[in-house]
Amino acid sequence: MTRLGITDSRSLPDAQGCSASYAVPRADQESNNSPGTIRARVQRFLGQPKPRQRLFFEACVRLVWARLLLLLLPFRQLSSGFSPSVRKAVLSRAEREQLRRDICWAIERASDCLPGKTVCFPRGIAAQKMCRKRGIGTIMYYGAAVDPVAGLKAHVWVQDGSDGVVGHLIAGEYEILARFPACV
C-alpha cells in the first residue's frame, strides 16, 4: 500500500490505457441490468479500496460540473479555469503513476455510470482538476484532425509530462491547437 492508501497490484490496461484492475464493469460490457447484475456491480465497487471509491465519487461530481460548464459558459471564460495552480505535493514516481491510473479509472467508470454521453472534453477538464488537486501538474491538450468521411474532428487529452492520463491513446491522430496551461 502506498502512502496515499491506493494500491493496484493487478493492473491491466483497458481500451483507454487505464488500469482495469478492481474494475467496475463498463456499461458496454454488460447489457443486462437485472437486479443480480446490478448487485454484482455494487459488490465489486464496494470491494474497491476506499480511496478509489472516493475518487470515483469525485469524478462523478467533476464530470457533471464540467458538462454544465461546457453548456453554460463561452470558451473564453471557460479556458481561464484550465490553468489552476498546482498544490505542491511530494510524490514518488510510483505513487504518481498509481494516482494517474486511479484517476483515469475513476473518470472512465464515472463516465459510464452517468446519464448521457460524457465525451473527451469534460473528461479532460475533470482529470486535470483531479490531478492538479493532488499535486500532479498536468497539461490539457486540445487538438483537431480532418477525417475523410466525418470531416473535422476534435479531441481533448491530458498528459503528465510524457505520460497520459485520459484520452492520450488516440492523441497522435490530432494536431495540437491549444494547451492549458499555455506556458510550460
pLDDT digits (tens, 9 = 90+) for 130-171: 999 998 989 999 999 999 998 999 999 999 999 999 999 999
Q: What is the DSSP string of 28-95?
A: GG-----HHHHHHHHHHHHTS-HHHHHHHHHHHHHHHHHHHHHHHS-HHHHHGGGSPPPPP----HHH
3-state helix, strand, coil in the chain (%, to 5): 45, 15, 35
Predicted pLDDT of residue 85? 66
- Residue 143's pLDDT is 96
Chain position carrying cell 495540437: 176
Q: What is the mean pLDDT of residues 56-65?
A: 96
Least confident of 20-24, 29-33, 103-107, 170-174: 20-24
Dihedral sign (CA 25, 58, 51, 169): positive
pLDDT value at residue 35: 65
As a whole number, the mean pLDDT across the chain is: 81
In which band, very low, low, confident or very high, does the pLDDT at 9 lie, cut at 50, 70 and 90? very low
Q: Give CA separation, 159 vs 40, 124, 142, in Å.
A: 33, 10, 11
Identity of residue 77: Q
Chain CA centroid to CA 171, Å: 14
Question: Averaged over 2-9, what is the pLDDT?
Answer: 35
Short-list 74, 98, 88, 83, CA closest to 3 = 98
Inter-residue contact 20 to 68 (CB < 8 Å): no
CB 44 within 8 A of CB 36: no
Report which residue type is found at 43: Q
pLDDT of residue 184: 55
Q: Are 106 and 59 in contact (CB under 8 A)?
A: yes
Cα–Cα dist 74/78, whole Å: 6
Any idea which of 18-22, 27-31, 54-58 has the lowest mean pLDDT? 18-22
Give residue 163's pLDDT.
94
